[in-house]
């Protein structure tokens, strides 16, 4: 089989390419050039591109570079900025997977005659009774099915995750045996297009990046009764459920329970005000077909799956009704649905602002 391997410069994608070669496939590596600005973290840095190229040389495979900077800016960076401007917390890594790795790259692979695209994600794809299933990775501590949940049947049928059956320890051991320069390279934890360095004003990379592109406005902080407690420098950078950096005092734990960007106001209160009976999810993509019934729902990359019952409202949005009240999820984050046994992905979408507060 002719396989196009997305090589980010990390150990997982390096080993993925090596495994496919060992299995006898015709392998070509590709690195996507996504970000043209400053970056020293993640798969957008110059050093990562160089690491990918050198691993490909070591393996004796061709290495291509695809320039997808315009697609990346339009589908990932611009939405990231626009979401912050209206008080939504986006997940750029998921949007990159949605629009670049499992859309644009797949399209390019088809045009070039490749049978499949492979990445180094810790997840698995299997065919069960004619249905393609996205299953959690063998290493649950590194499972990445959450961030690749958006694939449909066509995309799943053309996707390989070679390290999905391995633990991270075994991946690194394999890379060490092969003498790969990426064997002990740490995992990337940051937004790849934002530098980790502070700017000349001492602002963090995130604050500087967003602040150069949209106005950042101060806001008053009030409690649930409207009593003023203090202020924050940038209402656009406040996240639902946040505790650090918002007014507290008196030993009382207060969390952000509402963000009014136009009104320049942040409401804080006890954790009980964050508890909800359900979440509403829109723009849902199903792995196979729409599903209603018992499910497990995961709302962050390494979050604990929660039990819920899925239904569909009059607007066609999915409603996840919790079996027990849960903390609200920040609008813009992804809710990913798994079967009741928490084994395979049913689908997923974006959490909206529409919630019903728990009375418990």
Half-sphere exposure of 327 (CA within 13 A, CB side): 18
pTM metric for this prediction: 0.92
State residue 43's pLDDT score: 58
Average pLDDT on 217-233 reads 94
Q: Are strands 63-67 and 26-33 parallel, antiparallel or unpaired?
A: parallel
Task: Write the pLDDT tens digit of every residue in 278-294.
Answer: 999 999 999 999 999 99
**Among 230, 316, 313, which Cα is nearest to 267's?**
230
**Full set of structural domains in the chain with CATH:** 2-177 (3.40.50.620), 216-269 (2.30.30), 274-357 (2.40.30.10)
Q: What percent of the chain has pLDDT over 70?
A: 92
Task: Write the pLDDT tens digit of every residue in 297-355.
Answer: 999 988 999 999 999 999 889 999 999 999 999 999 999 999 999 999 999 999 996 54
State residue 359's pLDDT score: 39
Q: Does residue 48 have a pLDDT over 90?
A: no
**Among 53, 59, 50, 46, which Cα is nearest to 18's?**
59
Task: Write the pLDDT tens digit of every residue in 195-215.
Answer: 777 777 677 788 889 999 999
Q: State the catalytic residues.
A: 96, 192
| 3 state SS for 222-244 | ECCCCCEEEEECCHHHCCCCCCC
**Among 252, 253, 222, 225, which Cα is nearest to 235's?**
222
Q: Picking from 11-25, 68-82, 148-162, 204-218, which range would have the lowest pLDDT averaged per residue?
A: 204-218
Confidence label for 360 from pLDDT (cuts 50, 70 and 90): very low
Average pLDDT on 215-230 reads 94
Q: Give bridge partners of residue 170 from the DSSP assignment.
A: none
State residue 358's pLDDT score: 42
């Amino acid at each position: 089989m002719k396989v196009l391997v997305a090589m980010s410069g990390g150990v997982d994608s390096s080993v993925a390419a090596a495994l496919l070669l060992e299995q006898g496939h015709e392998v070509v590596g590709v690195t996507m050039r996504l970000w043209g600005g400053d970056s020293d973290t993640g798969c957008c840095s110059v050093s990562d591109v160089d690491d990918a190229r050198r691993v490909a040389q070591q393996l004796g495979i061709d290495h291509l570079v695809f320039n997808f900077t315009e697609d990346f800016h339009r589908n990932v960076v611009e939405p990231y900025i626009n979401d912050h401007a209206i008080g939504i917390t986006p997940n750029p890594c998921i949007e990159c997977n949605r629009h670049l790795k499992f859309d644009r790259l797949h399209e390019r692979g088809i045009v070039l005659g490749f049978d499949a695209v492979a990445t180094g994600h810790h997840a698995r794809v299997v065919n069960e009774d004619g249905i393609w299933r996205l299953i959690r990775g063998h290493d649950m501590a590194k499972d990445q099915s959450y961030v690749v949940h958006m694939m449909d049947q066509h995309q799943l049928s053309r996707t390989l995750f070679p390290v999905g059956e391995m633990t991270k320890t075994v991946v690194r051991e394999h890379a060490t045996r092969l003498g790969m320069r990426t064997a002990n390279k740490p995992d990337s934890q940051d937004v790849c297009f934002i530098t980790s360095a502070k700017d000349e004003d001492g602002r963090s990379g995130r604050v500087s990046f967003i602040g150069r592109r949209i106005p950042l406005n101060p806001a008053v902080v009030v409690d649930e009764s409207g009593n003023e407690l203090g202020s924050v420098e940038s209402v656009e950078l406040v996240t639902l459920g946040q505790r650090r950096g918002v007014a507290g005092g008196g030993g009382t734990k207060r969390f952000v329970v509402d963000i009014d960007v136009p009104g320049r106001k942040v409401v804080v209160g006890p954790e009980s005000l964050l508890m909800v009976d359900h979440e509403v999810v829109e723009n849902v993509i199903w792995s196979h077909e729409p599903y209603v019934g018992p499910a497990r729902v995961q709302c962050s990359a390494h979050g604990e799956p929660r039990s819920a019952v899925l239904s569909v409202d009059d607007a066609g949005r999915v409603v996840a009704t919790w079996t027990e009240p849960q903390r609200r999820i920040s609008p813009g984050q992804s809710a990913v649905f798994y079967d009741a046994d928490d084994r395979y992905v049913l689908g997923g979408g974006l959490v909206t602002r529409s919630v019903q507060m728990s009375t418990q």
